Structure 1
Amino acid sequence: MDSGPMFPYIDNPCRYASLYFCMCIDQNDNELEVLEIIHHFVEILDRYFGSVCELDLIFNFHKAYYILDEILIAGELQESSKKTVARLIAAQDSLVEAAKEQESSISNIIAQATK
């Protein structure tokens, strides 16, 4: 009794400059749509990091994952507008900066109180 392949996925490697992107999909998924999603992701990464390179993804993997989370939900394209994704990422970055400033000011208050 053969139930089919153990891993019923197709992987789609794409090369952009020196970066390779791969996405595993079901056999019934549209490969052209996946290629378009990868292209969309790379364009947004380029917009965010300047010309994205391997080091950007290594040292800022959390931002790359955040960008991917803004684009996809449950493997389906959520947001196709690059401007909207850029605006959401900028808002997230400003929230992170505000949290860092607040943490810094709290640390200063604690340091002064313990002197």
Structure 2
Amino acid sequence: MAIKFFLLVNIRGKTRLSQYYESVPFDERPTMESEIIRKCLSRTENQCSFLEFKDYKVVYRKYASLFFIVAVDASENELAILELIHNYVEILDCCFEDVIMFNLDKAHFVLDEMISNGDVIECSKQQILEFVNLLYKQES
């Protein structure tokens, strides 16, 4: 897969988590993110969860009050990205008893276990949860 970046955004449009897998200058990120977020938040539930933005294909999905936004190459399979987002949400759901915003380091860690350099390296929920639980059990 050619994932370019992964964003986690609240319904007010504030970026809570961002992970970039390609070089995007830091000064350009806020403008680009705000444009993409505005487009995703302005779409209705009846519209599809895919849109084009510059050289990217953007795939997003809303869960509760959070939007999970992934930018990929134009040739990427949108349904595979939706499945990746859903898998990530399921893993986060298993990891957090509280609100995710209080544990962003753990959310980053889970994402890093799933994606490396823009490629999906692990999609097994069981494998990821075993590793996350082992790591965080040792910290306590």
TM-score, length-scaled by structure 1: 0.69
Greater CA radius of gyration, 1 or 2? 1
CA RMSD of aligned residues (A): 2.0
Q: Which runs of 5+ in 1 are unaligned?
A: 1-5, 98-115
Structure 1 distance, partners of 2:60, 2:129, is: 25
Instruction: Identify which of 91, 103, 115 aligns with 1:60.
Output: 103
Residue 60 of structure 1 aligns to which amino acid in structure 2? N
Structure 1 distance, partners of 2:139, 2:76, is: 36
Shift of 1:95: 2.8
Structure 1 distance, partners of 2:96, 2:80, is: 24
In structure 2, the residue matched to 1:46 is 93
Structure 1 distance, partners of 2:54, 2:65, is: 28
Residue 118 of structure 2 aligns to which amino acid in structure 1? G
In structure 2, the residue matched to 1:13 is 60
Shift of 1:42: 0.2
Map 1:80-95; keep pairs closer than 5 Å: 80-95=123-138
Shift of 1:80: 1.7
Q: Which runs of 5+ in 2 are unaligned?
A: 1-52
Count of aligned positions: 89
**Greater length-normalized contact order (CA 8 Å, ≥ 6 residues apart):** 2
- Residue deviations 1:67-115, cap 9 Å, x none? 0011111222211211111110011102322xxxxxxxxxxxxxxxxxx
If each structure's helix is expressed as a fraction of its own residues, which one has the higher value?
1
Structure 2 distance, partners of 1:20, 1:36, is: 14
Task: Report the identity percentage.
Answer: 35
> Do structure 1's residue 76 and structure 2's residue 119 form an aligned pair?
yes
